[in-house]
Amino acid sequence: MSGQDLGQGDEEIVDRRRKMDGLVSRILPPEDDEIVLPHWSEPPTGEIPRVVLEMSGDRPLWLDPSSPEDLFESEGGDEEVLTFGGRNGGLHESRYDSVAQEVGFNGAQEGSSSSEYSPALDEDSVEGSLEDEKSDKKSYRRVRIPRGSSISSSVQKGRQSMRSKSSASFSESEEPLEQEPSSPKRSEPKRVRSKRKSSGGGSTSGRSKSKSIVTGVVLGALVLAALAAGAKIADALVTVALVVAAAEYYTNVQKAKMKPAKLVGLVTIVLMSVGAYIQGMQGIVYALLLGVIVTFLWYLAGLLNTPALEGVTVSLMPLLWIGLLGSFGSMILRPESFHGYGVRLLLALLITTSSSDIFAYFGGLVMGKRKLAPSISPSKTYEGVVIGAVAAVILGAFLAGAIFPMNLEKGAVLGLVAGVITPLGDLCESMIKRSLNVKDTSNLLPGHGGILDRIDGVLFMLPAAYFMFQLFHLG
């Protein structure tokens, strides 16, 4: 610009350039300092270059798609007000921005129609901005942007792009949920609130009552037919039920991104049930020991790429829960156990457990108010458990007690134990399902869920009934 008349602002421009050079010298190293870069073959040092640190920072708020629309407030006239703030996102906290503010760069001489972002700050405000970098307090300020400038047009384009993207994603998504009228306390979709009510209250269960009744009748008829066919057919039905229940458990565990030794577990449960019918308690112990050893060897050989502790734990739990407890059903059916009355005793057990479960469900549906374990099974209530226990005692005395070699007193005691233990087994299974984040173990039984959902209380009742029958001197 030598040889030209710079005009009235000559001294101001020279002064600004001097201030710019002084501030840039704070960032850039002196010219005589040698900058040594590491060789490309050397490992990274982990250090961040000083220049990168000085220039680092988040994108401006007006370019951030996540910024709220009310960031830009129109105050009328030919200007828009842009709010910058926050320690991470404010432009005023950048040292380079402070340099520009100190120099007062406008992009054009005073009096011309500028189309650039043009904050004009004095030297005192620049020093204050540099001091704000060292403080932990957040600061906010507004900057006026002339309408029609490049930044203002970019802001408008960003708004339109955000609106178009949001409308397009909404149209491609599933059917929108119908919204309730807004309230000061809560505003959420009707469909979500209805689901919460059905799963969390005692008045609704989320299942079809008609399907539940039909499925229950069919299951009852199947069980009665198997018991009428004899001990061997009944034990075969018990074995199939245990294997299917264990398969449902393993399937849900696999959905939870865990890798159990499913094949080993299912084979072990079959051996436990068959061994209990043939050799009694000794057969259960042999099969269980074999299953534990093979499960450890399964993971020791690396057949499943998963942490050993997690894999062994989820693999062995159904052996103890479903296999061990369920094998007592085969122990009851074993001809040598109770002089061949195993089929009748198993029928008495199923009468008491079913009556406890059914009457507890409907009793809680009608009279349930106080939750038994809301964090585990929100639909269970104290009233329902009491009603189920009373019904189990009555039906146990008059129905189960009428089955020889039972009597009225023994049937009532069996019903009382069933009224206490059956809800306990149900709660334990609900605890496992909640850990796996599932409502039902499967959809095999319409209106009931899976096999494991039906026999959860029976599993806990089988060993209790077996030892009770021995105390009754039925064996």
pLDDT of residue 9: 61
Q: What is the mean pLDDT of residues 289-296?
A: 97
Note the Cα 101 to chain centre separation in Å.
49
Q: What is the mean pLDDT of residues 16-23?
A: 76
The answer, yes or no, to whether residue 401 has pLDDT greater than 60, is yes
Task: Give residue 405's identity as a one-letter amino acid code.
Answer: P
Q: Which residue has the higher pLDDT, 117 or 18?
A: 18
Angle at 320 (CA atoms; ends 314, 324), nearest 5 degrees? 150
Contact 399, 406 (CB under 8 A): no
Confidence of residue 210 (pLDDT cuts 50, 70, 90): confident
Residue 225, both tokens: 């037919």
Mean pLDDT over each residue of the chain, to the nearest integer: 75
* Nearest CA among 115, 110, 111, 91 for reference residue 101: 91
Tell me, what DSSP letter sits at residue 285? H
CA distance 326 to 272: 9
Residue 184, both tokens: 């000061």
Q: What is the mean pLDDT of residues 152-177?
A: 58
**Strands, E assignment, 302-408:** 371-373, 377-381
Kindly report, residue by residue over 403-460, the tens digit of the pLDDT. Answer: 999 999 999 999 999 999 999 999 999 999 999 999 999 999 888 899 999 999 999 9
Percentage of the chain with pLDDT > 70? 60
* Secondary structure (3-state) at 364: helix
CA distance 371 to 380: 6
* Nearest CA among 100, 106, 21, 102 for reference residue 55: 100
Q: What is the mean pLDDT of residues 199-221?
A: 69
pLDDT of residue 42: 74
The answer, yes or no, to whether residue 332 has pLDDT greater than 50, is yes
Whole-prediction pTM: 0.59
Strand partners, 392: none
Contact 65, 137 (CB under 8 A): no
The answer, yes or no, to whether residue 150 has pLDDT greater than 80, is no
Which of these ranges, 125-134, 186-195, 279-288, has the smallest mean pLDDT? Answer: 186-195
The answer, yes or no, to whether residue 128 has pLDDT greater than 80, is no
pLDDT of residue 213: 87
Contact 423, 372 (CB under 8 A): yes
* Secondary structure (3-state) at 126: helix
pLDDT of residue 299: 94
